[in-house]
Amino acid sequence: MPIFRFKTSDASGRIADQSVEGESQDDALRRLQRRGVTPLEFLGEGDLNGAAGGAAGLFHRFDATDFTERLVPLLEAHVPLERALGILADGLENPAAARIVQELRKGLHEGRKLSQMIRDRGSLFPSGYASVVEAGEEAGALPQVLADTLRFLRERRELQTYLISASIYPAFIAVVGGIVLAVLLGVIIPKFATVLDRSGTVLPVMTRMLIGASNLFRSSWWLLPLLAAAALLFWDRSRRNPRLSEFRDRWVLSLPGVSPMILCANLARMSRTLAILLRSGVPLLQTVSITTRIISNERLRQDLAGLPGALRQGRRLHAALQACPHIPAYVTSLVAIGEETGDVPGMLDRIATHYEEELRRRIRRLLSLFEPITIVGFGVVVGGIVLSMFMAVMELNKL
């Protein structure tokens, strides 16, 4: 959601600048009023991470994992939450993060719940973070819930780090190959075609096709950035429009190589969240309701939307999961065993670990295939261009 900045006044008359997320400016105003402050002036759209300002803000972003890593030891040492946030803010070198933590601490002084303040800053935290914190607050087990959440966040960060590092070389090959191909089609081949036109020779079919591709690229290259921008715009709009989101997610689930990875990522997230909340003593119905909201794929979320109703009808968790078309038998079987042995959280942890490892294997396999395919693909294209030019030169030598 976009971020809106306002100049506000609190009950004591103190003036301050505040940033709040909202679907629209009116929605942001309503959220501010629920905080008990009076909006005085709209300052425009902003970024909760942009406290450092300008380019420096890119290097001073709020890290939810780092925030949780610093907060959990203090809470486990039975330090009160308000004092723990103060200690955390004083020890942060990042001025943007320190400001955000101070705002959280100030909100506690005003009687607001930590989960609600995190929800108001949803773009700074992973999806479902606020709901998990809220469940921990209601169950009186916030330190334990955050400790389990921290393990999940660390594993997610390790996966993201691996994905980025493993993608650098294939991405470099793709970028360099694209630049070489653009130079060939946009610069070298047109000059070569000019020489061939002057000679008046009859060109081979491959050479004529190559010159035609070059002419098409030179006349329509501007369509490529437009198409890329349109794709990014559609992806961004689909996140806010339920119909577009469902269409996009349904299409993603139909892709042969991508669908298994989407399922693995969401099943791992679902299982890990269920395990964290159940282990912390959160009621099953509330746990399932929270978990369904953190599923990133709209199609999968709709499949799981009927779980709370099935549980209210007296069905057990594994039986309710069996009614969901995208839940594998492996998941329902282990959950059933966990229900029989009285260790559902432990089994859910095993399920989450299995799908996290499966996701890593699939990503590793995909990237290992992408590199040789990219190299061979560009080799074939460049080789075809060179062969077409060589055939044209041979025709010139016959004159």
Question: What percent of the chain is predicted at pLDDT more than 90?
Answer: 6
Q: Model's pTM, two decimal places? A: 0.69
Does pLDDT of 347 surpass 90? Answer: yes
Does pLDDT of 90 surpass 90? Answer: no
Q: What's the CATH number of domain 151-399, 1.10.8.60, 3.40.47.10, 3.40.309.10, 1.20.81.30?
A: 1.20.81.30
Q: Residue 213, Cα to own-chain centre: how many angstroms? A: 37
Angle value at C-alpha 24, between 19 and 26, nearest 5 degrees: 85
Task: Give the model's pLDDT for residue 89.
Answer: 86
Does pLDDT of 195 surpass 70? Answer: yes
Q: Which two tokens stand for residue 59?
A: 């290097």
In 3D, which of 137, 158, 69 has the Cα closest to residue 359? 158
- Where along the chain do its domains lie? 1-46, 151-399
With cut-offs at 50, 70 and 90, classify the pLDDT of residue 240: low
**Which residues have a Cβ under 8 Å from the Cβ of 318 and sit 6 or more positions away?**
332, 333, 335, 336, 339
In 3D, which of 311, 340, 309, 324 has the Cα closest to residue 270? 324
Task: Give the model's pLDDT for residue 248.
Answer: 79
Dmax over Cα atoms in the chain, in whole Å? 93
- What pLDDT digit, counting tens, does each position of 5-17 carry? 777 777 766 676 6
Region at 13 (left for phi over 0; alpha for psi -120 to 50; beta for the rest): left
**First-last CA distance in the chain:** 67
**Quick one: average pLDDT of 365-384?**
84
**Which residues have a Cβ under 8 Å from the Cβ of 96 and sit 6 or more positions away?**
49, 50, 51, 52, 57, 60, 61, 62
Q: How far apart are CA 82 and CA 102, in angstroms?
A: 10
Q: How far apart are CA 143 and CA 132, in angstroms?
A: 11
Does pLDDT of 309 surpass 90? Answer: no
**Which residues have a Cβ under 8 Å from the Cβ of 374 and sit 6 or more positions away?**
170, 173, 174, 177
Element (H, E) at 159: helix 142-183
Q: How far apart are CA 358 and CA 176, in angstroms?
A: 31
How would DSSP label each residue in 198-230?
A: HHTPPPPHHHHHHHHHHHHHHHHTTHHHHHHHH
Helix, strand, coil % over all residues of the chain, rounded to 5: 75, 5, 20
Q: 239 versus 105: which is more confidently predicted?
A: 105
Task: Give the model's pLDDT for residue 44.
Answer: 62
**Quick one: average pLDDT of 238-256?**
76
- What pLDDT digit, counting tens, does each position of 43-84 carry? 666 555 544 444 344 345 788 889 999 999 999 898 898 899
Angle value at C-alpha 161, between 127 and 272, nearest 5 degrees: 40
Q: Which neighbouring-strand residues pair with 9?
A: 15, 38
Q: What's the CATH number of domain 1-46, 3.30.300, 3.30.930, 1.10.3470, 3.10.20?
A: 3.10.20
Does pLDDT of 250 surpass 60? Answer: yes
Residue 57 near residue 96 (C-beta atoms within 8 A): yes
Strands 3-9, 15-21: pairing kind: antiparallel
Each residue of 262-277: b (16+ CB within 10 Å) or e?
bbbbbbbbbbbbbbbb
Task: Give the model's pLDDT for residue 212.
Answer: 87
